[in-house]
Amino acid sequence: MKPLKQIENLLPIFVTMKEEQVILVDKKDTQIGLMPKMEAHEKGVLHRAFSVFIFNTKNELMLQQRALHKYHSPGLWTNTCCSHQREGETNIQAGKRRLFEEMGFVTELKETISFIYKAPFDNGLTEHELDHILVGAFESTPNITKEEVADWKWMNVELVKQDIQKNPENYTAWFKIIFQKYYTSIQ
């Protein structure tokens, strides 16, 4: 019986090891299939994604620093959180799920703009996403998940814009693109 108990203890690990699927879409955001996340990034296939921007009442954006062990862009600063919708999940449901998984809190989110971008990485992977920008408000301290996030900070939106121009190497490739798109849409 003891070996069976050991296997039962490992089941949650095996379940989480199953590779996440991304939703393949056309340019109009119509689902055309599913593909393992890593394969989609290796092939640079267009897929659905979302990016969450959380602001406080001082017009500061909550940034996260990606965990140092991430397979791409480790240690770089980026938007509050981002990921991929699961099949059958709305953009808002996905954003709330991932916000809680990475930053440890839940807040109301609203959809703003969406657009397609493509960002290649040094490791041969490519983000080719139809990205939905979700925006929310929060006034407290997040309870970050250290496996996902190394650090976090509030930063004034104008200072973010200036710092990206001055120190682009400190930010993820996608954040530089999506921040500019979002910033332009609110001006």
pTM, whole model, 2 decimals? Answer: 0.87
pLDDT tens figures, 131-143: 999 999 999 999 9
Average pLDDT, the chain: 89
Question: Which residue out of 81, 102, 127, 129 is catalytically annotated?
Answer: 129
Rounded to whole angstroms, how far apart are CA atoms 88 and 23? 10
pLDDT tens figures, 159-183: 999 999 999 999 999 999 999 988 8
Q: DSSP characters for 150-161?
A: EEEEEEEHHHHH
Task: Please say if the pLDDT value at position 60 is more than 90.
Answer: yes
Check if 81 is active-site: no
Task: Please say if the pLDDT value at position 70 is more than 60.
Answer: yes
Task: Report residue 72's pLDDT band, with 50, 70 and 90 as the boundaries.
Answer: confident
Task: Please say if the pLDDT value at position 9 is more than 90.
Answer: no
Residue whose C-alpha is closest to residue 158's, from 80, 76, 61: 61
Question: Which residue out of 81, 82, 102, 127 is catalytically annotated?
Answer: 82
The per-residue pLDDT for 187 is 52
Check if 101 is active-site: no
Is domain 20-186 given the CATH code 3.10.20.30 in the classification? no
